[in-house]
Amino acid sequence: MKDVVGIGALNLDLLYEVQDLKVLREGGMPLRAGRETSLPQKEFTKFLTMVTQAGTLRWRSGGGSAANTVVAMARMGFKTGFVGSVGTDEEGAFILQEMEGVDLSHVKKGGKSGICLVVLDRQRDRALLVQPHANDSLRFEDIDLSHLSTTRYLHLSAFVGTGPLEVQRQLMMVLPPAIKVSMDPGELYARRGLKEVLPLLQRSSVLFATAHEILSLTGQDHYKDGCREILLLGPEVVVCKMGEQGAYLACKEGEMEFHPQGETEVVDNTGAGDVYNAGFLAGLLLGKSLNDSLAFAHRVAAKSIRGYGRQRYPDEEDLKAFQEA
């Protein structure tokens, strides 16, 4: 029996620090603070060279949104697994090695691994450029349903390509009803709009997204209206993440907000949202209230941004303190 199995992109995150994103943008690199973009291979290679020259490589880490979430859950002591695809290259071996504690027996291997360029400037709000490679090769036949039928939650995150999105859609049709689904569409799925991700949303009990993603997913002018629209489509809970301002939650019974006290020093905010998802899911798995789950999610996300990559992810001590609180 597992607590959470993730399905989403697996990437090698290369974290570069630059003085100012503007310099790279002027060179044609489509970087925006807090945002994510995918590019054709040729352009990606060109921009990789550009950032190598203009910036400093500060960190290498395993990445991918759902992967980050299950790794954070594994470090807290939950039983986790992952479904996805990595390359047979050195990068692929590194990505898997960075997922210690997660059952990786259902990760497909072939070709080159996905790469995500993470660029941080003095504002410390990551801009992402992603190249999917092996992630695009995931097929429905690669998924072992019997492996999935013993998890409490299946956590979905985005792929760049339409192929693996279709795999996730097909999976929603055949997934045993006892398995709860949580999802973080990220910018890549949010940009596709409601229609394309509807089969995923309809099957999800929890949806996590940033305010910006809620707006682009629903086309609403205000994130609260967007959250309410999503609630009508299936999810029981919509958690809207708002960086240093905290989070807003909408559910059938009403709404609530969490506003952090004090400031957090940001070293690297990449994956803050993914660790946040892990903290919130931990609360649900432990039967905690939505309010307590929001507070814990913030605590572990704020901790994670004080280090690079997965350096400051939550651990069993954090979970123990939460359990005893």
Ligand X SMILES: Nc1ncnc2c1ncn2[C@@H]1O[C@H](COP(=O)(O)OP(=O)(O)OP(=O)(O)O)[C@@H](O)[C@H]1O
**Which residues in this chain contact ligand X in the complex, by CB under 6 A?**
126, 210, 241-244, 246-247, 260, 264, 266, 269-274, 276, 298, 301-302, 305
User: Minimal CB distance to ligand X: which residue?
Assistant: 273
CB of 90 to ligand X, least distance (A): 25
Angle between helices 272-285 and 316-324 (to 10 degrees): 50
CB of 213 to ligand X, least distance (A): 8
- Specify the residue, 89 or 244, whose C-beta has the smaller distance to ligand X: 244
79 alpha carbon, distance to own chain's centre: 18
The H or E element containing residue 38 is strand 36-38
Q: Supply φ then ψ for residue 95, to 5 degrees.
A: -60, -45
Please tell me whether residue 114 binds Mg ion under the rule CB under 5 A: no
Question: Interface mask (CB under 5 A) for Mg ion, residues 21-60, using x and -?
Answer: ----------------------------------------
Can you tell me whether residue 34 is helix, strand or coil?
A: coil
Which of ligand X, Mg ion, none sits in contact with 132, Cβ below 5 to 8 A by type? Answer: none
CB of 88 to Mg ion, least distance (A): 28
The H or E element containing residue 256 is strand 254-258
CB of 239 to ligand X, least distance (A): 8
User: How many residues bind Mg ion, per CB under 5 A?
Assistant: 1
Please tell me whether residue 309 binds Mg ion under the rule CB under 5 A: no
Which of ligand X, Mg ion, none sits in contact with 305, Cβ below 5 to 8 A by type? Answer: ligand X
Which residues, other chains included, contact 25 with Cβ-Cβ below 8 Å and sequence gap of 6+?
A: 31, 32
Residues 91/35, Cβ–Cβ less than 8 Å:
no
Task: Give 82-118 as a DSSP string.
Answer: EEEEE-SSHHHHHHHHTTTTEE-TTEEE-SPPEEEEE
Q: Supply φ then ψ for residue 321, to 5 degrees.
A: -60, -40
- Specify the residue, 113 or 157, whose C-beta has the smaller distance to ligand X: 157
Which residues, other chains included, contact 311 with Cβ-Cβ below 8 Å and sequence gap of 6+?
A: none
- Specify the residue, 143 or 197, whose C-beta has the smaller distance to ligand X: 197
Please tell me whether residue 273 binds Mg ion under the rule CB under 5 A: yes
What is d(CA 113, CA 118) in angstroms, rounded to the nearest whole number?
Answer: 16
CB of 103 to ligand X, least distance (A): 23
Structure tokens that stand for 207 in this block: 């949806």
168 alpha carbon, distance to own chain's centre: 15
- Specify the residue, 137 or 304, whose C-beta has the smaller distance to ligand X: 304
Angle between helices 290-304 and 316-324 (to 10 degrees): 150
Residues 303/271, Cβ–Cβ less than 8 Å:
no
**Taking contact as CB under 5 A, which single stretch among the options 124-132, 157-165, 271-279, 291-299 is the one that binds Mg ion?**
271-279
Q: Which among 267, 263, 264, 323 has a CA at the least distance from the CA of 296?
A: 323
CB of 172 to ligand X, least distance (A): 22
Question: Interface mask (CB under 5 A) for Mg ion, residues 228-267, using x and -?
Answer: ----------------------------------------
CB of 142 to ligand X, least distance (A): 26
By the criterion CB under 5 A, which residues form the site for Mg ion? 273
